[in-house]
Chain A
């Protein structure tokens, strides 16, 4: 309710400021004076100068409001409570906050708590009113000041443009900072994990047996990455064995043989495969493909488990076909038509042209596409959670169940996780490993794709 009110207030202020600035500058222009900027820019500048101070006040409240409230609560506490040790003191403060917010608390409410809660609520309401009034006041002051400054020589357009530029910069910085933040926190938590388990035991260990968090940190368990890494790699290899031939041949057909009409229909349909939620692929693997493989194996005397690296890899391969085919198709169509004509003009057949000229010319780009597909396969979670069998044992038979890095992260973080023991912290180390793997693959892929682009432009 309150945020909505604030937003409405700001919008109204902004609207008034814009129209005022617009009409004021228009009035000046009507007298025949040439304005430096057009009225719309004057209006925008007034709106900005009105809005920015108001937002600043609100921002200050968001930053310092909680601290002030906290100080007020502490001031309300009886001296004996204020003298309590840290955890008990914090509990008392939280209880009062909960009472003030109207959520209520468990257990008996002490009289001093009820009184403090009431006082805090009144303080809060009052403070909010003051802040809103201040924001509105500052905004109106800004508006008036900005209106007074409107003159034919005011460089309103340049000022508005520089504000917009800062805004654009802030938006792009947000995306980058988020990424940096995630990476930093990954590193942080992973280092905490490595204070429990030596990095060598993690990266080169062959046994994965983390134990349970409830048994306490005394039973730390074993955290060997290799079984998970191998499971991940094996499934990715199986997936690529499916996706590379099928995807490449699809791309060759679509880009070289199919008529324009067929391609316009077929390509989007193939791309739909990429749009199917992975969980749907997952239960497709679990319910249909796994039992089918198992039955087929039984019929020819092979022991294939329904949930296995084979099942997961096969379905994942189907999932990434569109990545391979769609990207490769685009890349092969980027190869200049003149090369194709040159080869055909020498009497080469269509297939000779594709094999000897088009594929070699497109190869760097295709390799880039394949690497992107692999990094997608490595990071994929839902299919392997459902269909890989979740058995973190170092096995080399693809017909047996395995586990992957992603599956293990899911396992370690679902259920009770207190983020103090290695059982859950290991998820960050695993996440970091995965992140580094896909990052390297993506970097190599982008590098190769860029090299390829340079060749034909």
Chain B
């Protein structure tokens, strides 16, 4: 953990932080003062999401720092995955889904009509809850993204990208002799790292991970968590997780969602050890969830 917070600097519990203490006031979210991240890459402001008539997210405002891991925690159905899928506009694929508010990546509104969603998704990669390798070979799985985006000018270049991505995902040693075998034949943990390699191969700036370890056993989970910690040096990562231990292990900042609202956000240590909002305390201590 790189961010540490003096324990006496927690402000009034249950109360929104005032504008003077922590920059502009937005929403009712409790924010740890003086820890507003610098190097903000991704900024969400007043995001509401509706599925048909049902509202799934209420006025969420959140800053995501560069080259750090931000985890989104909260009970099932709290909107954390919905928020994640807003960031690369995967919610576009769901009928009746409507997003209002503003999400900016490097200052550019990603919901701007002039923005190309294909380009956005090549900058914001995604790893899903269940490993979903394509029913193609290991090599073809990783080469898929670079191919469709025309990132490689030659076969050799494509091969370099594939090898580099597999190395970076910590999978190279295990699959270097089975590149032509189907990706679906790997173990669950290997499949998930293959999906991470596949996402890395298009050189994204942000990687979204939607409970990437929930379908894996503890050993595979540990491998992936280690990998996430390494990837932090290169990418901005947002991870949705059910496990507070995982949030503590891999992330520097944590945001707690409940019933579609962002209840509290701040450095992971503060959120997990000294939460200020009552709801966060209840969740951390296991009273809700």
List A residues at the B interface (Cβ < 8 Å).
Answer: 259-260, 336, 338-349, 352, 356-357, 360-361, 455
How near does chain A come to B76, taking the closest CB pair, in angstroms?
Answer: 18
5 A-B residue pairings within 8 Å (CB atoms)? A339-B135, A344-B121, A346-B148, A346-B198, A348-B148
Tell which of A259, A348, A356, A357 has the most Cβ of chain B within 10 Å: A348
Q: Are A357 and B118 in contact (CB under 8 A)?
A: no
Q: Does B90 contact A (CB under 8 A)?
A: yes
Knowing A341-B93, A352-B148, A356-B148, say if A347 contacts B132 (CB, 8 Å).
Answer: no
Q: Are A347 and B95 in contact (CB under 8 A)?
A: no
Q: Does B67 contact A (CB under 8 A)?
A: no
Which residues of the other chain, A, contact B199 by a CB distance below 8 angstroms? Answer: 345-346
What 20 new A-B contacts, CB under 8 Å, besides A341-B90, A349-B148? A259-B95, A336-B132, A341-B93, A341-B126, A343-B134, A345-B121, A345-B128, A346-B121, A346-B126, A346-B145, A346-B198, A347-B145, A347-B149, A348-B144, A348-B148, A356-B144, A356-B148, A360-B135, A360-B136, A361-B134
Which residues of the other chain, A, contact B132 by a CB distance below 8 angstroms? Answer: 336, 338-339, 341-342
Q: Are B134 and A347 in contact (CB under 8 A)?
A: no
- Complex formed: what's the CA distance from A117 to B173 in Å? 96
How near does chain B come to A364, taking the closest CB pair, in angstroms?
Answer: 10
Q: Does B271 contact A (CB under 8 A)?
A: no
- Complex formed: what's the CA distance from A455 to B118 in Å? 29
Q: Are B135 and A343 in contact (CB under 8 A)?
A: no
Q: Does B122 contact A (CB under 8 A)?
A: yes
- Complex formed: what's the CA distance from A357 to B120 in Å? 20
- Complex formed: what's the CA distance from A336 to B184 in Å? 13
Knowing A259-B95, A341-B90, say if A346 contacts B144 (CB, 8 Å).
Answer: yes
Top 3 A-B pairs ranked by shortest CB distance?
A347-B122, A345-B126, A347-B121
Closest to B145 in A: A346
Which residues of the other chain, A, contact B118 by a CB distance below 8 angstroms? Answer: 347-349
Q: Does B125 contact A (CB under 8 A)?
A: yes
Q: Are A346 and B90 in contact (CB under 8 A)?
A: no
Which residues of the other chain, A, contact B88 by a CB distance below 8 angstroms? Answer: 345
Q: Are A346 and B202 in contact (CB under 8 A)?
A: yes
Q: Does B119 contact A (CB under 8 A)?
A: yes
Which residues of the other chain, A, contact B149 by a CB distance below 8 angstroms? Answer: 347
Which residues of the other chain, A, contact B120 by a CB distance below 8 angstroms? Answer: 347
What 1/0 mask marks residues of chain B from 121 to 133 whose CB sits below 8 Å from any chain A CB?
Answer: 1100110101011
Determine which of B93, B119, B135 lies in contact with A344 in the assembled complex, contact meaning CB atoms within 8 Å. B93
Which residues of the other chain, B, contact A360 by a CB distance below 8 angstroms? Answer: 135-136
> Size class of B's contact patch?
20 to 34
Inter-chain residue pair count (beta carbon < 8 A): 69
Determine which of A259, A349, A352, A357 lies in contact with B134 in the assembled complex, contact meaning CB atoms within 8 Å. A357
Which residues of the other chain, B, contact A259 by a CB distance below 8 angstroms? Answer: 95
Q: Are B128 and A338 in contact (CB under 8 A)?
A: yes
Q: Does B195 contact A (CB under 8 A)?
A: yes
Q: Are B195 and A361 in contact (CB under 8 A)?
A: no
Which residues of the other chain, A, contact B136 by a CB distance below 8 angstroms? Answer: 360
Knowing A341-B90, A361-B134, say if A346 contacts B125 (CB, 8 Å).
Answer: yes
Which residues of the other chain, A, contact B122 by a CB distance below 8 angstroms? Answer: 346-347
Which residues of the other chain, B, contact A347 by a CB distance below 8 angstroms? Answer: 118-122, 145, 148-149, 202
Determine which of A341, A343, A455 lies in contact with B144 in the assembled complex, contact meaning CB atoms within 8 Å. A343
Which residues of the other chain, B, contact A357 by a CB distance below 8 angstroms? Answer: 134, 144
Which residues of the other chain, A, contact B148 by a CB distance below 8 angstroms? Answer: 346-349, 352, 356
Closest to B149 in A: A347
Closest to A352 in B: B148
- Complex formed: what's the CA distance from A340 to B93 in Å? 10
Which residues of the other chain, A, contact B134 by a CB distance below 8 angstroms? Answer: 339, 342-343, 357, 361
Q: Are B145 and A260 in contact (CB under 8 A)?
A: no
Closest to A260 in B: B95
Which residues of the other chain, B, contact A343 by a CB distance below 8 angstroms? Answer: 134, 144
Which residues of the other chain, B, contact A336 by a CB distance below 8 angstroms? Answer: 132
Closest to A336 in B: B132
- Complex formed: what's the CA distance from A306 to B145 in Å? 52
- Complex formed: what's the CA distance from A4 to B257 in Å? 73
How near does chain B come to A375, taking the closest CB pair, in angstroms?
Answer: 27
Which residues of the other chain, B, contact A338 by a CB distance below 8 angstroms? Answer: 128, 130, 132
- Complex formed: what's the CA distance from A352 to B148 in Å? 8
Tell which of A260, A347, A348, A356 has the most Cβ of chain B within 10 Å: A347
Which residues of the other chain, B, contact A340 by a CB distance below 8 angstroms? Answer: 93
Which residues of the other chain, B, contact A345 by a CB distance below 8 angstroms? Answer: 88, 90, 121, 125-126, 128, 199
- Complex formed: what's the CA distance from A136 to B145 in Å? 80
How near does chain A come to B124, taking the closest CB pair, in angstroms?
Answer: 9
Which residues of the other chain, B, contact A341 by a CB distance below 8 angstroms? Answer: 90, 93, 126, 128, 132
Closest to A348 in B: B148
- Complex formed: what's the CA distance from A352 to B120 in Å? 16
- Complex formed: what's the CA distance from A259 to B95 in Å? 8
- Complex formed: what's the CA distance from A344 to B198 in Å? 12
How near does chain B come to A452, taking the closest CB pair, in angstroms?
Answer: 10
- Complex formed: what's the CA distance from A455 to B148 in Å? 25
How near does chain B come to A366, taking the closest CB pair, in angstroms?
Answer: 14
